[in-house]
Structure 1
Amino acid sequence: MREEAALSTFRRLPPDKQERVLDAALAEFADQGYHQASLNRVVAQAGIAKGSLYQYFPNKEGIFSYIFQYALKLVRRTLTTVKEETLEENFFVRLEKSLLAGVAFSREHPRIFSLYLKIQFDKNVPFREEFLAAVRRHAGEYFGSLVRRAQSRGELRPGVPREATLFLLDAVFDRFLQAVAVPALDVTLGLHRATDAAIHQHVRELVGLLKEGLMA
């Protein structure tokens, strides 16, 4: 990952002002995409002078890079909490709670997930390969820790290929969250407008299918 793009001036701002700038920039990039994003709209929404923005960040790419890192930290913090709180639970229960936490996060922070989708589907976004690799790497680390513990506790059948299992989990979780966020990406389950009860049911069904193939 690139060095943190925020300048020391930004780090010295009061936390509420930092949050105001970050929220305005996140909203602009998530709603408009990188190339259509306007720094004029960012400063207007944040209530700061445009010159001040360039005292905080070197350029548009620097702001975008910092926003991505900020968003990824929030995701990591959420999943770390889930991992710690479910440490003693069965692997498949942990999968259910992890996926439900992902749904809750995407609904609580819709613009973060929108930003991720724009990076994923726009090949001209700066640092795209680097950003997507960081997301996939974090997913691999997260699922890897769950799988290793499950194997050590005898919760997975012997001989389950670890790399293929990690790929499968990452693919299922990512695709499920995309369907929750974007109606056009879901033509079967109707996840975008699903109630909490329906989401829980679909999560149990998917994890049940995984369980049939992986459980010892």
Structure 2
Amino acid sequence: MDASPTFQNIPADKQQRVLGEARREFAERGFLGASMNRLSARLGIAKGSLFKYFGSKEGLFSRVFDGAVERFALFLREARDETKGRPLAERLERVLLVGTEFVRTHPDIYAIYLKMLAGGDFPLREQFLGKVRALSARFLTPIIVEAKASGELPETLDATLAVFVLDAVLDRFVQAQAQPWMDIGLGLSLDDPENSRQAAGKLAAMLAGGFHVG
């Protein structure tokens, strides 16, 4: 959802401050717990201005989430483009690490995502999470298709199934670093980039080899 022309016409630094504080509010308290009163107090602006900018709390959250997806898309696009033409295992390693880099850079956005996964107190939850999955598929599919075209993967490989597997592994790899209880003994942590890099390299090699099976 686009913000109103009123919001789009305020200075860019003020726009970023409003959206940044909104991300913080939703990350800390979820959607139902987020307060437009508290947010307006943080920003030092009238609550009425927030409604003029976004129409409702739902409208504000929609703008925050769409902006988060746009930021993640930039990370993914850069990773895809910078590894184009390289071996599949190397590309998959970069895929695994780019998710971690994004979370380290934008912890508030990832906190919102985790809250959405865990509960249903967000408007249009399925629609928003579907956007994340669709973005991942758009990014991952060309990597598989290019590997098939180069002969690195068999022509008979079902690209849709391969992308399904990659998306699931990418999501779990990042979650295991952000939530220790999801780790099964790999010692993954956002605070240990080197261990994450080593694990990503081994996992990428396993995935690239596994796609030849069957």
Q: Normalising by structure 1, report the TM-score.
A: 0.93
Q: Does 1:71 align with 2:68?
A: yes
**Displacement of 1:31 after TM fit?**
1.0
Alignment counterpart, residue 140 of structure 2, candidates 126, 139, 143: 143
Alignment of 1:181-200 (within 5 A): 181-192=178-189, 194-200=191-197
Report the residue type matching 1:205 in the other structure: K
Q: 1:193 deviation in Å? A: 5.1
Residues in 1 aligned to 2:172 and 2:15: alpha-carbon distance in whole angstroms = 32
Q: Is 1:176 aligned with 2:170?
A: no
Q: C-alpha distance in 1, partners of 2:28/2:99?
A: 20
How far 1:204 moved relative to its partner? 1.0
Q: Which amino acid aligns with 2:127?
A: E
Aligned partners of 2:137, 2:190: CA distance in 1, in Å? 29
AA of the residue aligned to 1:7: S
Aligned to 1:164: 161
User: What's 1:94 paired with?
Assistant: 91
Shift of 1:70: 0.5
The whole-number CA distance in structure 1 between the counterparts of 2:68 and 2:58 is: 15
Q: Which 5+ residue runs of structure 2 have no aligned equivalent?
A: none
Aligned to 1:115: 112
- Sequence identity (%): 39
Alignment size in residue pairs = 213
Whole-Å Cα distance in 2 between the matches of residues 98 and 47 of structure 1?
40
Matches of residues 25-44 of structure 1 in structure 2 within 5 Å? Answer: 25-44=22-41
Distance in 2 of aligned mates of 1:53 and 1:171: 37
Match of 1:9 in 2: 6
Q: Is 2:134 the counterpart of 1:131? A: no
Q: Which runs of 4+ in 1 moved over 3 A?
A: none
* Aligned mates of 2:80, 2:20 — CA distance in 1: 27
Give the unaligned 5+ runs of structure 1.
Answer: none
Match of 2:198 in 1: 201
CA contact (8 A) 2:88 2:208 kept: no
Distance in 2, Cα, partners of 1:185 & 1:65:
28
The superposition leaves residues 97-130 of structure 1 with CA deviations (integer Å, 9 ceiling, x where unpaired) of: 1211111110110111111111122123101111
CA–CA distance in 1 between the matches of 2:5 and 2:190? 43
Question: In structure 2, what is the Cα distance between the partners aligned to 1:193 and 1:166?
Answer: 25
